[in-house]
Structure 1
Amino acid sequence: MTSALKALPNIRRAGWGHASPRHMSLWEHGLHLFRSAVGVVLPAPMMRRALALETNGGTRLVVGDRAFPVRRNLHLVGFGKAVLGMAAAAEEILGHHLIRGVVSVPHGIQACLQQAGMEAMLLKPHSRIQVIEGAKHNLPDREALRAASMIRELAEGLTADDLLLVLISGGGSALLPAPTPPILLEEKETITKLLASRGAAIQELNTIRKALSLLKGGGLARAAYPAQVLSLILSDVVGDPVDIIASGPTVYGSPRAQDCLQILTKYNLLSAVPASVQMVLSRSVSGPPAPADRSHVYNVVIGSNSLALEEARRQAEGLGYWTLILSAAVCGDVSRVAELYSQLIQFVCLGAAGPGGGALRGQVRGALLKLATELEIPGLKEALQGLGPERSVCLLAGGETTVQLQGSGKGGRNQQLALQVALELHRAKATEAGSFLGRCEVLFLSGGTDGQDGPTEAAGAFSSPELVEKASREGLDVEKFLSNNDSYTFFSKFQSGHHLLLTGLTGTNVMDLQVVLIRARDC
């Protein structure tokens, strides 16, 4: 993690000197848009927008249109990759009104933030919040289990007069492991790994996790009852489903044993299940009944991919781009997503070519709509109708793609996507529609908002239609790098510094962002 911090100050750079936006390169524009998008979902600004302490006519904690009385009854727990910064901001807002807190955060994060000069995301000396680092390599471990036990103990000690503030972000599931007895942590981890290795969807993984956990699937809210529970959630899941993020510890809803058995059968794992897991699943997996009145829980999503995209849109329009947010839910295999972006870029360039590209644009539009249906991107048909021959176009999207691992190289899904887009655009040049690409400047950027793309120091990468030709002149075979899942090594071959996106650890996580910038070469 430490090596990823070298370029961290870049994410904080506020200005661009005295250069006119029109004279800035597409690379500078793309970097500015990414930084701006990440900046709006950093823990401190998010918490300040969401949470306020009012003292007029009695002290109240205000979130949106809801107010909660505060009278020396305020406790805090949290778990997730961005929770340390969220907790630091919360304690600054709450001051002495906070009695006690426990947060479970990733192993090594405090040292990394300290080294990166991000003291604002660290708790102050003599904080009332206890920090426990665990889940090394994003896997549940003994320290994460200890943190979960302390969080559960705090919650179970609350009364109807208490208020529990819960901070949740991506990575929270691994940081809050509390297996239902007699299941051991190692046994639960084994089942989860087996399911993941066989391609189980995140919804299926979370169904099993909830069934085998004391705190997931509303277990934390149940433990805190009858105290008031207020959860502030930073979403790292497509669509922001609060029951899926960190496996929904404050969202009531336990899976049925039948659903769990069907999932295990689907992946031929029923015989591999330990006896302890079979015992728990043979009982009712719902645990203690949830209270009939669930009004004691209030869940609020305070940061998401959509929020980051809206800020990027605002910034792009300020730079003079006609801007369109395609979707905050782009997912699927990178090869198909790359094809979608290639077709979109061709569609825009054909529009910039004037009447000569009309018929070809119709053909590309048909292919685009077919891909949009396959990748479940609604609204693209209507969006394409509004996409005219503007001289500068910005297309924005977010989500989380997937990569089929076939090689032994080094990379991440964002770098793989950027390289695949470059290859698709290179191939398109041989077609009649793709021949219009040369009339426009094009930049593609894909990056992870947490600042880390796979096991690399990069957040993602930039690419362009010229990249493959440039690589060929250097003796680099793009297809070989892609087939070996070695995108990081490929981009590292270039010394310009304009291919890898290096932000360092950001302290937040709202999935990935993609930026496409297109402008006519004569502008």
Structure 2
Amino acid sequence: MLAAKRQRGRDMTAALRALLTIHRATTIPACWGQASHPRSMSLWEDGLHLFRSAVGVVLPAPLLRRAMALKTDGSARLVVGDRAYPVRRNLYLVGFGKAVLGMAAAAEEILGHHLTQGVVSVPHGIQACLQQAGMEEMLLKPHSRIQVIEGAKHNLPDREALKAASLIRELAEGLMADDLLLVLISGGGSALLPAPTPPVLLDEKEKVTKLLASRGATIQELNTVRKALSLLKGGGLARAAYPAQVLSLILSDVIGNPVDVIASGPTVYSPRRAQGCLQILAKYSLLGTLPKSVETVLSASDPSAPEDDSHVCNVVIGSNSLALEEAKRQAEDLGYRTLILSAAVCGEVSRVAKFYSQLIQLVCLRVAGPDEAPRRDQVRGHLLKLAAELAIPDLALEDSLNALQGLGSEQLVCLLAGGETTVQVQGDGKGGRNQELALRVALELHQAKATGACFFLRKYEVLFLSGGTDGQDGPTEAAGAFCSPELVGKAAREGLDVETFLSDNDSYTFFSKFQSGHHHLLTGLTGTNVMDIQVVLVRARDR
């Protein structure tokens, strides 16, 4: 398993499994929209439906069409929000990220002959995957004005991504004041725009990034260092395009949607902050391993930003929150009392797993009688302590718990959250943060149930799901995994020790041992990326 952002590394050609395309699966059967939940539908089916629905609403083409329009009444102009840009075949396009190919296809369709030229940097193998999956609408048409370069195999910078970055920089530097540069950005953009600041070489920059990722650095920390060692990140692309107008449309894969962090902020002016980079490198004990070229760049003065950055406009058009809101609507249609906990769940997976376990136990204890009040208060106390330690942004936990207290035992409950956890690599196994989180939640629930600490778990069906919206979790074809409190006991009866798999970070192999197909979340390539989604479903067992 790989840590933090490295967990997302994968070979794009491995995506073709299971479902044909996720967006075609978002059509809801009529019976699923009824207020009363049919008992014939399993929690697994509900969870899969909610995940599909969440991803379907953040597919790149629909997002782009909602975000911008070409108005041709009178003089032609590109309209985004309350801004209008005159266009007269002065429009250029660049892009980088996992969802950018679909965004570019939609953009070219909208812009027509006003688009003069474009270059996009996209993941290795993505065109073949989309074509084989029948996702033709995410592919550019023949004779497109946009050049496509595939690179960043396993989500790591490589020579092809460097070539794409050089072409993007060349295009930007050739623009004039009357030109408009449309920049499309999505998750994975950092690896696809890797041009290092001389004298740093690509291999040297990659070495530093991989070392940070392997030690559990956050995406914010990774991007801080990336920006300091990059020509185009940290506003470098906007500098290259000056004085042309720059309009960035962004599909966010970062908690809180900070535009200076997404893909390391290529169109957001920011200083290099060498001192901050050194502090991050010191935190992970890497100062003594830096190449000389990296030391040279970090000791140099920061490049200055133009006095006026009014030529740049950054717009976030899709995010994890948007996906969660759609999942909430679908869950409510299925009859669930639904709460969105946060779109910013973060932290090490073992701690996040404990948080979810305590939360699920509290949901099952919500209608316990007076004799269970001490146990309920104890679980609530543990939960609040964990929440404080994790410091999850926008987590209205007290309000959520109060809302749950008024629900009866027969009420279906759905809890939704999103974000991005991290894993500290200890073994050589295969998996991703979502699969490991699901397996750790299963272990926590098993232990609570086995010790009798929460016998109320036995009265409810519980499902936990965690999945990456890009359709892949770590270097695997799985997007994530499902679990229940019964999973660990079932594994033990088959001679599988969960803790052994976890110690080797081998969650993928564990879930692969089950032939039912109801443990791995297999979606195939989605063509989008807005971090991860977690779903908790709880309903009373049939009497």
Match runs of 1:156-175 below 5 Å: 156-175=173-192
**Could you tell me which residue of structure 1 aligns to residue 387 of structure 2?**
372
Partner secondary structure for residue 516 of structure 2: coil
Question: 2:429 — aligned with what?
Answer: 409
Structure 2 residue 518 is the aligned partner of structure 1 residue 498: yes
Q: In the aligned structure 2, how far is the partner of 1:520 from the partner of 1:10?
A: 33
2:282 and 2:375 map into 1 onto residues whose CA distance is 49
Matches within 5 A, 1:98-497: 98-284=115-301, 286-287=302-303, 289-353=304-368, 357-377=372-392, 378-387=395-404, 388-390=406-408, 391-497=411-517
Tell which has more relative contact order, 1 or 2 (C-alpha 8 A, sep 6+). Answer: 2
> Over residues 293-319 of structure 1, what are the superposed CA-to-partner deviations in whole Å (9 max), with x where a residue is unaligned?
211111011111111111101111111
CA distance in 1, matches of 2:285, 2:354: 33
C-alpha change, 1:215 and 1:472, in structure 2 (3 Å) is same
Q: Which amino acid aligns with 1:233?
A: I
1:453-479 deviation per Cα after TM superposition (whole angstroms, max 9, x unaligned): 111111111111111222222222222
- Classify 1:197/1:429 alpha carbon distance in 2 versus 1 (closer, same or farther; 3 Å): closer
- Per the TM alignment, residue 199 of structure 1 is displaced from its structure 2 partner at its CA by 3.9
Contact 2:182 2:248 in 1 (8 A): yes
User: Which structure 1 residue ranges, 5 or more long, are not aligned?
Assistant: none
Rounded Cα–Cα distance in structure 1 between residues aligned with 2:274 and 2:494: 57
Q: 1:2 aligns with which of 13, 18, 26?
A: 13
Identity over aligned residues, as a percent?
Answer: 79
- 385-394 or 246-255, larger mean C-alpha shift: 385-394
**How far does residue 271 in structure 1 lie from its aligned partner after superposition?**
4.2
Aligned to 1:93: 110
CA RMSD of aligned residues (A): 1.8
Q: Which runs of 5+ in 2 are unaligned?
A: 1-11
Question: What letter corresponds to residue 164 of structure 2 in structure 1?
Answer: A
SS at match of 2:248: strand
SS at match of 2:258: coil
Deviation per residue, 1:108-137 (Å, 9 max, x gap): 111111111111111000101000111122
C-alpha displacement of 1:251: 0.3
1:516 lines up with 2:536 in the alignment: yes
Whole-Å separation in 2 of the counterparts to 1:283 and 1:349: 57
SS at match of 1:441: strand
Distance 1:481 1:267, change over 3 A: closer
**How far is 1:272 from its partner?**
3.3
Deviations 1:122-173 (A, max 9, x none): 1000101000111122111111111111111111111111111000111111
1:365-397 CA distance string (max 9 Å, x none): 111111110111332122211113241100001
In structure 2, distance between residues paired with 1:275 and 1:452? 36
- Measure the CA separation in 2 of the matches of 1:88 and 1:344: 42
Answer whether contact 2:154 2:475 (CA < 8 A) is retained.
no
Distance change in 2, residues 1:141/1:445 (3 Å) = same
Please tell me whether the aligned partners of residues 165 and 230 of structure 1 are also in contact (alpha carbons under 8 angstroms): yes
**How far apart are 1:33 and its partner, in Å?**
0.2
Contact 2:97-2:188 at 8 Å conserved across structures: yes
Report the Cα offset of residue 101 of structure 1. 0.5
User: For 2:285 and 2:373, how far apart are their aligned partners in 1?
Assistant: 52
Shift of 1:265: 4.2
- The equivalent residue for 1:46 is 63
Moved more, 292-301 or 401-410: 401-410
Q: CA deviation at 1:231?
A: 0.4
Contact kept? 1:8, 1:505, Cα under 8 Å:
no
After TM superposition, the score normalised by the length of structure 2 is: 0.92
| AA matched with 1:185 | L
**Aligned-partner residue type, residue 389 of structure 1:** L
State the SS of the aligned residue for 2:471.
coil
Greater mean deviation of Cα atoms: 144-153 or 17-26? 17-26
Contact 1:166-1:232 within 8 A present in 2 as well = yes
SS in 2 for 1:453: coil
1:24-48 deviation per Cα after TM superposition (whole angstroms, max 9, x unaligned)? 1111110100000000111111111
User: How far, CA to CA, are the matches of 1:247 and 1:25 in structure 2?
Assistant: 41
Q: Distance in 2 between matches of 1:466 and 1:125?
A: 52
| Count of matched residue positions in the alignment of Structure 1 and Structure 2 | 521
State the 1:268 CA deviation: 4.2
CA distance in 1, matches of 2:482, 2:386: 23
CA contact (8 A) 2:121 2:149 kept: yes
Whether the aligned pair in 1 keeps the contact of 2:21 and 2:135 (CA below 8 Å) is no
Give the secondary structure class of the aligned counterpart of 1:309. Answer: helix
Cα 1:261–1:459 shift into 2, 3 Å? closer
Instruction: Give the residue type in structure 2 aligned to 1:350.
Output: L
- Offset, 1:431: 4.6
What are the Cα deviations for residues 209-258 of structure 1, in whole angstroms up to 9, with x where unaligned? 21221111001011111111110111111111111111100000022333
Whether the 8 Å CA contact 2:214–2:424 is kept in 1: the answer is no
What whole-Å deviation, never above 9, does each CA across 1:270-289 have from its counterpart, x for those lacking one? 443333333333321x22x3
Q: What secondary structure does 1:299 align onto?
A: strand
TM-score normalised to the size of structure 1? 0.95
In structure 2, the CA distance between the partners of 1:103 and 1:56, relative to structure 1 (3 Å rule), is same
Work out whether 1:22 is the aligned partner of 2:38: yes
The separation in 1 between residues aligned to 2:372 and 2:72, in whole angstroms, is 63
Conserved in 2, the CA contact under 8 Å of 1:164 and 1:229? yes
Indicate if the aligned counterparts of 1:491 and 1:500 stay in contact, CA closer than 8 A: yes
